[in-house]
Structures are given as structure tokens and as C-alpha cells.
Amino acid sequence: MAIRTWAWAVFLLLALLSSSSSCRAAEAPSPQVSADADLAAIDDAHRTGYHFQPPKNWINDPNGVMYYKGVYHLFYQYNPKGAVWGNIVWAHAVSTDLVDWVMLPPAIYPTAPFDVNGCWSGSATVLPDGTPVIMYTGIDGENRQVQNVAYPKDLSDPYLREWVKPDYNPVIAPGPGMNATAFRDPTTSWQGPDGLWRLVIGTKDNHRGLAMLYRSRDFKRWAPAGRALHSGDTGMWECPDFYPVNSPGVGGGGGGTKHVLKVSLDLTRFEYYTFGEYDQATDTYVPDAALADGNDGLRYDYGNFYASKTFLDTAKQRRILWGWANESDSTADDLRKGWAGVQAVPRKVWLAPDGKQLVQWPVVEIESLRGNHVNVTDTLVKAGQHFEVSGLASPAQADVEASFQVMDLDKAEPFDPAWRAADAQTVCAARGAEAKGGVGPFGLWVLASDDLKERTAVFFRVFKGGDGGKHVVLMCNDPSMSSHADNLYKPTFAGFVDVDVAQTRGKIPLRTLIDHSVVESFGAHGKTCILSRVYPTKAIGDEARLYVFNNGESDVKVTHLNAYEIRSVKITADVKQNT
Ligand code: DQQ
């Protein structure tokens, strides 16, 4: 016993000596080491807790999203070799609840002449017998963009781990006169009354973006319809998506089905959609007359959200939308971080009851992540005031649902007629969160530091004198003060919100999902959505704060606000990989 005590004393002494020497080392680090360590900690603090991202490397478009045998599949564009775009394969993750994910090995990667230079975006179709088939763009040996099919190797595996590419690929190649380097991203297929399958592929003819229609009886031989389902003077159309939504019966009609066509614009990197009538017999699509193509078109999201894709969740009879959010930092930042790109939370999407636009909402499963919450009710925020919503352990990973009520709509400034031709982003850039107004800006400061020098504003402004004398509601995301770091892209994002504030007695609801470097907001119950990427240096982890602010002349009441902590999702490796 005595020897043991003695041995312990020697051990402790040695341990103390070694720890004090390592302490000394820690007290006087070389400035470079310390700066690197600080940067690494900040980089780590920007990784998301519940927005999907793999442990490392570059990701972009969601691909082939589907539901199969009780499992949700998310494939996505992935560079297995680094944090910049390149070496593109289809990475694969599965989930039973759209919340926790199992990471699987890449499902589709270059193996054959028809995809030797990359496996780009595409879609999944579940055939009537339950067999899923993937159609994706392969970059062939001549760098042409061709469309290939892949089938599961083992239909009894609900994870669909392995995929087989038949030798008869490619099944669609660019025809004579077509632009072979702009011919990609096939949609999910649909079957017409004649039994033929249809799909569209994004392409361009000079500056005209096109959704080219193809037909097939057997999913193997595809014939061009020789025309576009729709086109627009917008440059290349990437990642088209075409799907039906049920219309509840606008204007007293009996309801019916509208078809949505969404495209991603390569030139501007934003997406827009139209919806209208699709005649199955003639394969014609006519968007509703009120809906614009291009810059003035409706968007799923007025922020950082691209290459999106929907699928029908047959388990819950809902349509789910996935979209990619790129980084807004520099390539050098991404290389240092070792990762780039996240997916927005999956959103349910449907047609608004008034038939004027689509509405989106985070899938209800996300709410299972909610933990502790704080609540604010009927709290007046006077002109120029703000208050902190305290009590959450970390508002850097939170879900905030609030409703604001404008107390004096008469204070709304007139809508400048010069803004009529402008988009919301231009208006909001001219009148950012710091510019005092009549009604607004009011809303949230998220990912804010306690000295408020870092903060991202999500807010509304209300103007009067819009069309028909109605108020105009603008929703903005202003990241101009979001970070002390340099070399960040900090665009002000904005969308108009179709809410008649005179009817709602000045009430405008807002939900914001905060996830370290993601601020994803849903205005007016999902009518206007804005996702933004920000990189605070102080407002990270437990140091982040959440505030309500009002920089307008009219008082604003927070009629209710619930802020929830959100637990991190579980991202696990596939157990079968280790066996
Ligand atoms: N990303 C893919 C293309 C697609 C683009 C390549 C959109 O198939 O057009 O990674 O982000």
C-alpha cells in the first residue's frame, strides 16, 4: 500500500510537471498556431446541427430524391476528394424520418465511357411495379452530356446501396444541332394516358433556356418530342422539375390539378417556377397568365437555394422539396474548412388556397428536434427599440416562430413608384435593416453577438400605395453586419410577401430556422422564404444571441414568439460497411 502511495506521488509529480510545461506551451503559443486554432474553432462552429451536410468535402444539388420501402433517399452531388466542385459522384444518405441520416457509400460514380467524366444531376422515378430507376446526366469521354439509367442491384435492400448501369447507356444523347455541353438534369418521369413515359431535360438555344421533352415506352429507347415543354429568355435551364399539385378550387371552381415547372437559372443562380395547365394528350403546358417567366417569376426561395428537386412522399401523401445552399465565404475558406455546401431542410410544398403561389413549410418531422423553449407574448417593441430573447442555451441552433403586429399602419411610407419595376432585392438593398422606416424594419436579429456588432437581420417593411391601394410587404435578410470576417459574400436577399395587412390587422408571422451558418426563414406561413449563409466570428455557439428589433416609427407588438432549442440530428455510418 505504501509503495502504491509513493508510486502515485511520483506519478502525480510527473504529471504535474508535464502538464505545467504543456500549460506554459499553451500560454505562449506562436501567434500563427493560436490564429489557426481560433480559425479552426470558428470553422467548426459554422457546421450545421440539423441541416444535412456530410462530414467533409464539397456537396451541391440534391439528386434522385425518393421514398422506397419505408426509407427516404437523398442522393447529392459530391466531390469525394475535396471541398471544391469536381470529381462529381452521387453520394447517398438514407433516413426513416427525414431527420437522422445514415451515410452510405456513393451510389453512382464514373465507371463507363458514358459517364467517365462525371455523374451529374438527375432524378428517380418509381415504376408502377415499385422498381426505382435513376436517370442521370453522364459526362462522356468527349465531354458530351448524355442521359443514363441505373437500376438497383438488390430490390430487397431498402437502402438501395448498389446500382447497376446497363451497357445500353446512354439512353438519350444530344441530337444533331443540340448543345452537347448544355443538355442535362433529367426530371422524374411521368406516364401519359397512352402509356408512354415522359421526361424533360434542361438545355439552351443561344440565350433561350429550354425544357426539352422526351418520350419512351420502355425507359430504354427514348425519342425526342422535337420541342420544348416550355422555354424562357433566361439563359441555360438547369435542374428542371415538373410535377402536379392539387388545386383546392380557386374562385369557386371545383378544384383540379395544376402542374408546376421549376427551373434553375445557370446565369443568375436563382430559380423560378410557373404553374398552369398541362394537357396530357397533347403534351402542352400553358402557365397561368398571371405568372411571369424569368427575373420576375415566383421563387421557392429568394435567398441561397438552388438546383432544387421535389418528390412525392407516398407514405404521407405530400410533396417534399429539397434544395442546395452553397457557401457564401471564399474558396480559400472552404479549402481550409474542408467542407462546402449544405441542404436546406426538406420542405413540404403545396399550392396556396387562393391559387396564386406555392407555399412551403419545414416538414413536420423537424419539430421532433425541438427541446427547451422560451415564450414571449404581447410584448410591445417601441420605435427604435429592441430586446433580447434570452433563456435558450444556444440560440445558434434554434427554431423561432413569431407573429408581429404593426400597431399603426398609417405610418407606412409610400411605395416609391420607381420600385414598381424593380425586384424586392433591389428595394431591400436600398433600404437595409439599418435604414429607419415608417413601418419597419422590424423582426429578428439572429446570430448576434452580445455587443450587437455581429448580427443578421431578418425583417419586414410595410409600404402603402401598392397595387389597388394595398400595402406592400417586403421581407428581407440583411447579412451586412453578420460577421467581422473578410471576403464574405453578403447579399441582401428579399421577396415581397402576399399578405393583406389591412385584413390581418397588421399581423405578419415569421418562422426562422437558425443553424450556425444557416438562417432559413419562412414569412407569412411559408409564402415567402429566404435562406442565407452567414459566418459570425463572435456570435457562435453559446455566445450567439437572439433579439427582436424595431427600427420603424410604428410600434410593433410581438403577439407571440416561441424560440426552441434544436437538437443536432444523428449522422451515422452504414453499419453494413464495416462488416
Ligand atoms: N450541378 C450539376 C449539373 C447541374 C448543376 C453538376 C446545377 O448537373 O446542372 O454538379 O447546380
pLDDT for position 302? 97
Atom 9, ligand 1: residue with shortest CA distance = 238
pLDDT digits (tens, 9 = 90+) for 235-268: 999 999 999 998 765 544 556 789 999 999 999 9
On the question of a cis peptide bond just before residue 441, with omega within 30 degrees of 0, the verdict is yes
Answer yes or no: same fold for 57-362 and 370-566.
Answer: no
Is 419 in a helix, a strand, or coil? helix
Strands 197-205 and 222-232: unpaired
Q: How far is the CA of 332 from the centre of ligand 1 (A)?
A: 22
Closest residue by Cα to atom 10, ligand 1, is 120
Ligand 1 neighbours by CB, cut-off 6 Å: 60-61, 77, 88, 120-121, 137, 184-185, 238-239, 306-307
What pLDDT does 1 receive? 30
288 is catalytic: no
Residues of the chain with confidence (pLDDT) below 70: 1-33, 248-255, 577-579
* CA 419 to centroid of ligand 1, rounded, Å: 33
Determine the distance separating the centroid of ligand 1 and the alpha carbon of 120, expressed in angstroms.
6
Asked if the 370-566 domain carries CATH number 3.60.15.10, the reply is: no
What's the pLDDT at 120?
A: 98
Distance from C-alpha of 7 to C-alpha of 338, rounded to nearest angstrom: 45
Ligand 1 pocket test target in 57, 58, 61, 265 with most atoms within 8 Å of CB? 61
Mutate to test the pocket of ligand 1, among 76, 77, 263, 326 (most ligand atoms within 8 A of CB): 77
- Residue range 57-362, CATH number: 2.115.10.20
pTM as predicted: 0.93
pLDDT of residue 256: 75
Domain boundaries, the chain: 57-362, 370-566
Q: Which of 36, 43, 44, 61 is catalytic?
A: 61
> Helix or strand or coil: residue 410?
helix
Please tell me the distance from the alpha carbon of residue 550 to that of residue 404, in angstroms, as a whole number.
10
Q: How far, in Å, from the CA of 192 to the mean position of ligand 1?
A: 28
Going from the Cα of 60 to the center of ligand 1, the distance in angstroms, rounded, reads: 8
Q: What one-character-per-residue DSSP string does 165-219 give? A: --TT--SB---TTS-TTSEE-PPPPEE-TTS-EEEEEEEEETTEEEEEEEEESSS
Helices (H), ranges, 256-404: 331-337
pLDDT of res. 400: 98
